[in-house]
Amino acid sequence: MRTKSILAISLAAASMMCGSSVFAAGTTPTVGPFGSGKITFTGTITNSPCDIAPGDDAITVPFGQISYRKLNAVDATTDSKPFTIHLQNCAFDPNDAGVNPPNSAGKMSKVTVSFSGAGDSTHHSYISSGSAQHVGVQLLKSDNSTIIEPNTPMLDADAQQLLAGNNELNFFARLIALSADVTPGDVNASVTYTLKYM
């Protein structure tokens, strides 16, 4: 008897669902708007000869998870991680003489990159504001060995010659112990880069 009651309830529920489904399928949508949204377009117009590739105006360099034992002595460093600033659609005006000298693509076809942030000149690094204590970030040139001094403009003599089209500005970064008592936690350091064409 109990089994029949459950079956009857189940059949009734199924019947109601079928009826509801038929009703919904037979409903004709009214004419009118069915949803809307807003799209925002952003960008910056510059007078530079190259475009910074989309996304490279906010680069993230992930170091992953590193044991604090790797940084158990002052000035101990981790393995370095590469990062690249991509320049696109570079186009240069010819030099005033009308002919570009050897190894030149034209006016403003060389570039320097300078970095700025919360620096530690003693350890040639930028200070992390994360929960990991006494950790800094060192920047290296493309040779992966020459340290880029924090908050120091790159010399014009070190400018990179660019070519028409796309170019890459390659660098490396590594963590450095600012003292012997580095503590576990998150590393978070921000650095601003500035391009100078010449």
| Residue 180 belongs to a domain | yes
Structure tokens at 33: 């708007």
CA 196/CA 113 separation, integer angstroms: 7
Q: What is the pLDDT of residues 134-176, one digit of tens each?
A: 999 999 999 999 999 999 999 999 999 999 999 999 999 999 9
| Average confidence (pLDDT) over 84-102 | 82
pTM metric for this prediction? 0.76
Measured from the Cβ of residue 96, the count of other Cβ atoms closer than 10 Å reads: 7
Q: Categorize the per-residue pLDDT at 26 as very low, low, confident or very high, splitting at 50, 70 and 90.
A: low
> Can you give the CATH number for the domain in which 110 is found?
2.60.40.1090
Residue 86 has a CB neighbour count (10 Å cut-off) of 17
What secondary structure does DSSP assign to 73-124, as a single string? STT-B---EEEEEEEEEE--PPPTTSSPPTT--STT-EEEEEEEESEETTTT
- In terms of residue numbers, what domain contains 182? 51-197
pLDDT of residue 124: 96
Number of domains in the chain: 1
* Residue 30, pLDDT score: 67
* Residue 130 to residue 135: CA distance in whole angstroms: 9
Q: If DSSP codes are grouped into helix, strand and coil, which group holds residue 4?
A: helix
Residue 164 maps to a domain: yes
Helical H segments across the chain, by residue range: 2-25
Task: Note whether residue 82 is domain-resident.
Answer: yes
**Percent of the chain topping pLDDT 90:** 67
Cβ neighbours around 117 below 10 Å, total: 16
- pLDDT(4) > 50: no
Region 102-113: mean pLDDT is 84
d(CA 73, CA 122): 15
In a domain, 192, yes or no: yes
